[in-house]
A and B are shown apart, each in its own frame.
Chain A
Amino acid sequence: MIRLVASLFCIAATLGVDTSSAMTIEKIVSPSGIEAWLVHEKALPLVTLNYAFHGGAAQDEADKAGTANLAADLLDEGAGDLDGKAYHERLEKYAIELSFQVSRDYIHGSLRSLNEHRDDAFNLLRVALASPRFDADAIERVRGQVLAALQRDTTNPNDLASRRWWQTAFPDHPYGRESKGALETVPRIGADDLRDYVRRVFARNELKISIVGDVDAKTAATLIDRAFGGLPEKNDLKPVANAAPSGLGRRIVINVDVPQAVVTFGGQGVSRQDPEFMAAYIVNHVLGGGSFSSRLYREVREKRGLAYGVSDSLVWFRRAAVLLGGTATRADRTADALAVIEQEVKRMAEEGPTPEELAAAKSFLKGSYALSLDTSGKIAAQLTQIQIDDLGIDYIQRRAALIDAVTIEDAKRAAKRLYGGGLLVTIAGRPKGLTSSGTTE
């Protein structure tokens, strides 16, 4: 029986053929001189914008950590003539999605709108960036929400393990702090600090913009000027020092009464601009990348049933790069799980991946890229990241060749470099038989 819900137009045999004409990325420059990357995608009546300003949580003063994050949370709580309530009503009335997110180095934004309301959308974004109000009542309300979340984190094993890892790896460096700040620092942030952050960061230089949707180049350029054209020419950032993770070789146990111990582990990573980055990326996929076939997944979960999840990944910033992983295991087997992880890391450092593993990982990383480019939001975010990483507008086309170029010798060398330096391990819980070790605190 066949029940057709709609008339069928597409009958042709397209399987086995790459039906998507390669996505075309256009570099456009607005009348006021702002550059953006555009994918003109006509299939849906939408426009998706993604952008990033250089200047994230690393710009916070140490005693006012959380400033950038609090500012980002307040940008849609009133701007220009609109108080927070009026601003939110406007967003909802036109079904506009607007969000801001702070990372260590950047403040990222995204905007999604139906085509018919895109002018309103870009106008609302303009006022949020150019004239956020930071009304006193809104600041106190949002500050209360941030503090409540921070308070909750104080007994959450995931937060405890992660926070301690970063503090230990980057003491006295802004990367060691949480972007959302701390219970002691968030109460010190005033309206002037928020205004100062916005003034220093929201500028046209070092701004990366991507647009995907049913919008042509000319219209896109106009929209970009509408949102960003009035911003100052140049940002005013504090320099952030280069850093490398410290504390490698140490193990720190944070005592908290939970049934399952949460483990964070990590070490020195590889910079995105490093010539060996791709080799390291592939090797790390073999060890602990996201699929059900990684060595850590197989050894910790499949064979021994020690954890529900275990993985690690490469994380890179402007001024540092780390390898970071985690798992969560029952308290009486945490030592076993950690021993397996450490053994696998050591084995990878010494032997590298096998040629078969290398081939499988390359095949995965090439094939899976299309899955990270199958929605407008993912495409826009990816294009912004490619701009941030300065990989070039043809990177998507070049990527497969970069992966293929990695030899088994490259992989072994990268493995030794990546995993040979030791790990900093933090554990939150009551892991049986494990105590803090290494240099005393």
Chain B
Amino acid sequence: MLSRINLTLIALACALASSSLAADQRDPEIADFILANGLELVVIPDHRAPVVTHMVWYKVGAADETAGKSGLAHFLEHLMFKGTAKNPAGKFSQVVARIGGQENAFTSQDYTGYFQRVPSDELKTVMEFEADRMTGLQLTDEVVLPERNVILEEQNQRVGNNPRARLTEQVDAALYLNHPYGKPVIGWRHEMEELSRDDAIGFYRRFYAPNNAVVVIAGDVGPTQARALAEETYGKIARHSALAPRMRAQEPPPVATRSLTLADARVEMPSLQREYLVPSFTTGKRGESVALEVLAHILGSGSNSHLYLGLIVDKQVAVAATAWYDASMLDMSKFTINCSPRPSVTLPQLEAETDAVIAQLIDKGVTEEELERTKTRLIADAVYAQDNQASMARWYGTALTTGASVNDVLNWPERVRGVTADQVRDAARQWLDKRRSVTGYLIKDVSPQAEKRS
């Protein structure tokens, strides 16, 4: 999902106060409300086009599933389109289509979201439908069973047909020894095949409620109207009286360097994936997560990064090399490195060279020049983000369902600005420790039975 907690105009005005942009006063007006029933509402006005993005985010994801029911959060996401007593299956989608809207939904380890993008004068319409299905879902086997086939095909499409996605599943499963983040969001097939209507309804009743939801509206609407509409629609739903806290089994301190190899007959390009167990914004101490964000950029984002220059340009052992860190997780997150070797290079050689790039960063640190360049780039991303109301809505929704607050989002540029070269080096030294990691090799399966498997 999205990689970074983001920010807004106000934060920007502060962050860029020293530059010529400070003169560009542009009416910041993000608002955050909590209704009496516990539903949180965030409004991000953007009046450039007569459209709104309306999203409801539930604070429940795959990591909240009961053991043995992997894929259930995502299965329920699909089933949420199957109708209520008031609005039979298909009606919501027909109305969205008729008004020229777009809609979809998504599930992660920590949250489940539903959205519509519609002309702004239809905002109330979609809020009414979304509020209706917050507690009004009705399911029969007639609609549940074909949909289970759909998610199995989705699993095939995303994972079964894709060796790299299969490798990621294996590395994740090895990284998280105890935490449910080790299970794929889409689920393990043998468990997906057994998911039932009762499983879905039970999960729905436990987690779908106004006091477990955040509504984010970005676009051509003011906070006052948005709030009034939310009171009229979501405000009528009773709060869940026994909402359980999100309790997930946590990781023990990692102590062993792990490695694994996945052989797949379709692999034409071997690759290497390394994941380290690292703090998220929410679990980390002050400043840890933002230092990891800067580190990920300097180490492995774009053609100026250490991995690109070291492995692709200088040593010429790789054709691709990237690093990536997701700050927005409720529990312990991961720092991921992906590399693909040049044809004549073996994966152990590539791994050794990758380790050498990391060791050099830990040894020599980063230069002030590259640190400043990276900060400029990260902070500019925030300005660019404001050009897209749907991105803004996603950033706020992600933050608020993974343990961060609106203010945390607003302060993000300030935190980026405060990162020092020492903090980046310390983050690399402390977290890029191989005992915290899993290294996965993806290789071609050349065994005779590989050809026959179907």
Binding site for B on A (CB under 8 A): 1-20, 23, 41, 43-46, 48, 84-85, 88-89, 92-95, 97, 112, 114-116, 137, 141, 144-145, 148, 151-158, 256-260, 262, 291-293, 301-309, 328-331, 360, 363-371, 373-377, 430
Q: How many interface residues does B have (CB within 8 Å)?
A: 101
Is the pair A292, B97 in contact by a Cβ cutoff of 8 Å? yes
Which one, B121, B219, B309, B376, contacts A93 given CB within 8 A? B376
A297 to chain B, nearest CB (A): 9
Report chain B residues within 8 Å CB of A148: 269, 319-320, 340, 342-343
B245 to chain A, nearest CB (A): 21
Report chain B residues within 8 Å CB of A365: 100
Report chain B residues within 8 Å CB of A15: 120-121, 123-124, 221, 225, 229
Which one, A2, A13, A116, A145, contacts B225 given CB within 8 A? A13
Report chain B residues within 8 Å CB of A85: 303-304, 309, 313
17 more contacts with CB within 8 A, not counting A151-B268, A291-B97, A367-B101, are: A5-B410, A6-B29, A13-B225, A14-B220, A14-B222, A15-B225, A20-B50, A45-B383, A89-B304, A141-B312, A260-B161, A293-B94, A305-B146, A308-B154, A328-B153, A330-B152, A374-B389
In chain B, what residue has the closest Cβ to A262? B161
Is the pair A306, B149 in contact by a Cβ cutoff of 8 Å? yes
Which one, B151, B303, B316, contacts A88 given CB within 8 A? B303
Report chain A residues within 8 Å CB of B48: 20, 41, 43, 374
Report chain B residues within 8 Å CB of A331: 454
Report chain B residues within 8 Å CB of A375: 387-389
B387 to chain A, nearest CB (A): 5
B19 within 8 A of A: yes
Cβ contacts A to B, 9 pairs, < 8 Å: A4-B32, A9-B27, A15-B225, A19-B47, A20-B220, A95-B379, A262-B161, A307-B153, A331-B454
In chain B, what residue has the closest Cβ to A86? B304
B20 within 8 A of A: yes
Which one, B27, B51, B117, B148, contacts A305 given CB within 8 A? B148
Contact with A along B10-36 (1 / 0, CB 8 A): 100000000111001011111111100
In chain B, what residue has the closest Cβ to A301? B150
B368 within 8 A of A: no
B369 to chain A, nearest CB (A): 9
* A-B contacts at CB below 8 angstroms, number: 260
B23 to chain A, nearest CB (A): 9
Report chain A residues within 8 Å CB of B302: 88, 92
Report chain A residues within 8 Å CB of B32: 3-5
Is the pair B304, A369 in contact by a Cβ cutoff of 8 Å? no
Taking A4-B31, A257-B453, A374-B48 as contacts, is the C-beta distance between A16 and B101 under 8 angstroms? no
CA distance A375 to B389 in the complex (A): 8
B147 within 8 A of A: yes
Is the pair A370, B268 in contact by a Cβ cutoff of 8 Å? no
B362 within 8 A of A: no
In chain A, what residue has the closest Cβ to B154? A308
B173 within 8 A of A: no
* Most chain A beta-carbon contacts within 10 A, residue among B266, B374, B407: B266
Report chain B residues within 8 Å CB of A145: 319-320
Is the pair B342, A6 in contact by a Cβ cutoff of 8 Å? no
CA distance A18 to B122 in the complex (A): 11
B420 within 8 A of A: no
CA distance A9 to B47 in the complex (A): 13
Taking A256-B266, A363-B99 as contacts, is the C-beta distance between A6 and B387 under 8 angstroms? no
Is the pair B33, A2 in contact by a Cβ cutoff of 8 Å? yes
Is the pair B102, A371 in contact by a Cβ cutoff of 8 Å? yes
A241 to chain B, nearest CB (A): 34
Report chain B residues within 8 Å CB of A116: 19-21
B81 within 8 A of A: yes
In chain A, what residue has the closest Cβ to B26? A43
A101 to chain B, nearest CB (A): 17
CA distance A305 to B97 in the complex (A): 21
Taking A1-B33, A88-B304, A256-B266 as contacts, is the C-beta distance between A305 and B149 under 8 angstroms? yes
* Most chain B beta-carbon contacts within 10 A, residue among A14, A48, A156, A369: A14
Report chain A residues within 8 Å CB of B21: 45, 114-116
Report chain A residues within 8 Å CB of B388: 374-375, 377
